[in-house]
Amino acid sequence: MIEVRGVGQRAGGGRRTLRDVSLTIESGELVAIIGGSGAGKTTLLDAIAGVRPPAEGEVRFDGEARVNGDARVNGGAFGYVPQDDIVHLEMPLRRTLRYAAGLRLPSGTPPQRAERAVDAVMDALALTERAGQRVGSLSGGERKRASIAVELLTRPRVFFLDEPTSGLDPATAADLMRLLRGLADSGTTVVLTTHHPPDVAVCDRVAVLTQDGRLAFYGEPDVAREEFRVGGIEDIYLRLAETEPHEWEGRFGTDAAPAVGPGVGAFGQWALLARRNLDLLSRNRLTLAVLAGSPVMVLAMFAVLFRPGAFSPESPSPGATVMILFWIAFGGFFFGLTYGLLQICTELPVVRRERLTGLRVGSYVLAKVAVLLPLLALVDALMLGVLRGLDRLPAMGWGTYAELFVTLLLCSLAALALGLLVSAAVTDPAQATMALPMLCFPQVLFVGAILPVPVMAAPGRWLSYAMSNRWAFEGLGHSLGVERLWGSGRSPLGPPLLASYGDTFGRAVAADWAVLAGFTAVFLAGTCLLLARRT
């Protein structure tokens, strides 16, 4: 049973989009929310489903408030189908449904049963022939049905659908309503919004919203027709349009499942999401081009820019060595940042939807790291290997190069975490792209390479502590013994050549690693918190 009590919502500018809505939905009822475009149907549905909790009032399920990502919700208790069909567009339909089944079916479901569930929903929604087709290439109505199929894999206890029948032909729409009627009859509570009058006839109750977000009526469809003194549901829209919205308020009285197993655990979700990430990554040519292309181009630029043998005491160029180390660190930072930046903002609506079915943000974020970190490791190793091969880096033992690699990978990881954090904070890819230079600039200026930390203005020096790149740069310098080469008075070349850098490279590299790991932990935790709030 769902109790909605005095629910109100406000839009961005403080405008009220929903006013004091109260209604009770009994278990196993099929309820339609109708009203003009912009009346607040989606807003009300989202408030009830918990997608956007209400600003005023409360929603209780069987007498309890609920929390997204709650273990009890896991295992498919809630299903939510948004107005815009939101599924990954690159993947074939069957595969999309397989991943969805993995996330939503109770843990321990045998693969054959999951496969049968996938076949069954495709059959129920007449999508069997489209199984191999990319979701992005389905027709509007097919995509809508695919979006519904995702939630039907499990039998949700409560099912929310925003305009499930829009974009469908009358016969398919009637089929879908029959399907939902059947779900309700077998115990699932179904709440939907619609613009199709015929849909309302099969519903137990209808909620009518006025144009300013008040509840004009809540009750059985037949009663609605009587109360509004109209012949058909479509005439209610006309009657609503004829009258001032507030006149309806208070004119009508408002009257006051299947077994769910425990959902997939945190680790199971992580493993499944990691596999899906990899799958998506391999299907998106543009992303692949960026992932592979930017390291290749940057590496080519380094090879052209740096001269060989800069570290050799025979032809010393201390300034160049410092710059080489800085740009290597910055390269690691840049790859991590760009890898992370577009990850979350491009699929936030998907995450929002999956959160309702019990997705854990921790599993989600770590699944991103799991797929991108090996790629970064590859790129970082390649960068060190190629620069050594071209004699841009000095000949040193494997131990030194292992140290350089760890430093660089931690640098990339911290940047990846920063990228994910920003990606979770922005609203779309355009904003994420605009954030890129703003994130890079300070990591160039305040790192202490171009202007050494000891000669920075005091505020700059403080700021330099917050730059993950600074710690990577100094760690690289320490491992390569820059200080020994031309640092303090102990230099074999006589007077210190890099005196202005002071003891920049003096710190043990393990300390730099600890700081970089700390940055990573803070950024990842921030990403999780932010995502939990935004979804």
Ligand X SMILES: Nc1ncnc2c1ncn2[C@@H]1O[C@H](COP(=O)(O)OP(=O)(O)OP(=O)(O)O)[C@@H](O)[C@H]1O
Site string for ligand X, 81-100 (x = CB under 6 A): --x-----------------
Q: Are 210 and 39 in contact, with CB atoms under 8 Å apart? A: yes
CA-based torsion, 127, 130, 136, 141: positive or negative: negative
Alpha-carbon span 354 to 233, nearest angstrom:
34
Which residues is 306 bridged to in the sheet?
A: none
- The CB-nearest residue to Mg ion is 42
Quickly list DSSP for 234-291.
Answer: HHHHHHHHHS-GGGGTTTS-------------HHHHHHHHHHHHHHHHHH-HHHHHHH
Residue 17 contact, options ligand X, Mg ion, none, Cβ 5-8 Å cut-off depending on partner type? ligand X
Alpha-carbon span 277 to 347, nearest angstrom:
11
Residues with Cβ within 8 Å of residue 459, at least 6 apart in sequence: none
Q: Is 40 in the site for ligand X (CB under 6 A)?
A: yes
Residue 110 contact, options ligand X, Mg ion, none, Cβ 5-8 Å cut-off depending on partner type? none
The residue (of 14 and 437) whose beta carbon lies closer to ligand X is: 14
Q: In three state form, how does the secondary structure of 291-345 look?
A: HHHHHHHHHHHHHHHCCCCCCCCCCCCHHHHHHHHHHHHHHHHHHHHHHHHCCCC
Min dist. Cβ of residue 428 to ligand X (A): 14
Min dist. Cβ of residue 40 to ligand X (A): 4
* CA–CA distances in Å: residue 449 to residues 177, 441, 455, 492, 512: 66, 13, 11, 23, 16
- For ligand X, which stretch binds (CB under 6 A), given 11-19, 58-66, 283-291, 480-488? 11-19
Q: In what order do the strands lie in the sheet with 16-25?
A: 16-25, 2-10, 56-61
Site string for Mg ion, 83-102 (x = CB under 5 A): x-------------------
**Site residues for Mg ion, window 40-79 (CB under 5 A)?**
41-42
Three-class SS state of 505: coil
Residue 43 contact, options ligand X, Mg ion, none, Cβ 5-8 Å cut-off depending on partner type? ligand X
Residue whose entry in the numeric block shows the structure tokens 């049973």: 1
Residue from 7, 25, 39, 168 touching ligand X (CB under 6 A): that is 39
**Site residues for Mg ion, window 3-42 (CB under 5 A)?**
41-42
* CA–CA distances in Å: residue 124 to residues 90, 153, 436: 23, 11, 45
Q: Is 8 in the site for ligand X (CB under 6 A)?
A: no
Min dist. Cβ of residue 11 to ligand X (A): 3
Q: Is 527 in the site for ligand X (CB under 6 A)?
A: no
Residue from 14, 37, 286, 495 touching ligand X (CB under 6 A): that is 37
The residue (of 19 and 276) whose beta carbon lies closer to ligand X is: 19
Q: Is 41 in the site for ligand X (CB under 6 A)?
A: yes
Residue from 2, 7, 8, 17 touching ligand X (CB under 6 A): that is 17
CA-based torsion, 517, 522, 528, 531: positive or negative: negative
Residue from 43, 210, 363, 468 touching ligand X (CB under 6 A): that is 43
- For ligand X, which stretch binds (CB under 6 A), given 21-29, 30-38, 147-155, 239-247? 30-38
Residue from 6, 11, 390, 395 touching ligand X (CB under 6 A): that is 11
Residue whose entry in the numeric block shows the structure tokens 């495709």: 122
What angle is formed at CA 364 by the lines to CA 362 and CA 370, rounded to 5 degrees? 100
C-alpha torsion 100→344→520→332, nearest 10: 110
- For ligand X, which stretch binds (CB under 6 A), given 33-41, 61-69, 105-113, 290-298? 33-41
The residue (of 209 and 260) whose beta carbon lies closer to ligand X is: 209
Residue from 38, 140, 262, 454 touching ligand X (CB under 6 A): that is 38
Residues with Cβ within 8 Å of residue 266, at least 6 apart in sequence: 360, 362, 363
Q: Is 343 in the site for ligand X (CB under 6 A)?
A: no
Min dist. Cβ of residue 49 to ligand X (A): 12
Residue 521 contact, options ligand X, Mg ion, none, Cβ 5-8 Å cut-off depending on partner type? none
Site string for ligand X, 44-83 (x = CB under 6 A): ---------------------------------------x
Residues with Cβ within 8 Å of residue 88, at least 6 apart in sequence: 96, 135, 280, 347, 350
Q: Is 35 in the site for ligand X (CB under 6 A)?
A: yes
Min dist. Cβ of residue 55 to Mg ion (A): 18
Residue 423 contact, options Mg ion, ligand X, none, Cβ 5-8 Å cut-off depending on partner type? none
Which residues is 4 bridged to in the sheet?
A: 23, 59
Min dist. Cβ of residue 209 to Mg ion (A): 10
Three-class SS state of 119: helix
Across 326-409, where does the E strand assignment appear?
Answer: none
Min dist. Cβ of residue 361 to ligand X (A): 22
Q: Is 144 in the site for ligand X (CB under 6 A)?
A: no
- For ligand X, which stretch binds (CB under 6 A), given 41-49, 97-105, 259-267, 291-299? 41-49
Residues with Cβ within 8 Å of residue 148, at least 6 apart in sequence: 81, 125, 161, 164, 176
Residue 464 contact, options Mg ion, ligand X, none, Cβ 5-8 Å cut-off depending on partner type? none
Q: Which residues bind Mg ion (CB under 5 A)?
A: 41-42, 83
Q: Which residues bind ligand X (CB under 6 A)?
A: 11-12, 17, 35, 37-43, 83
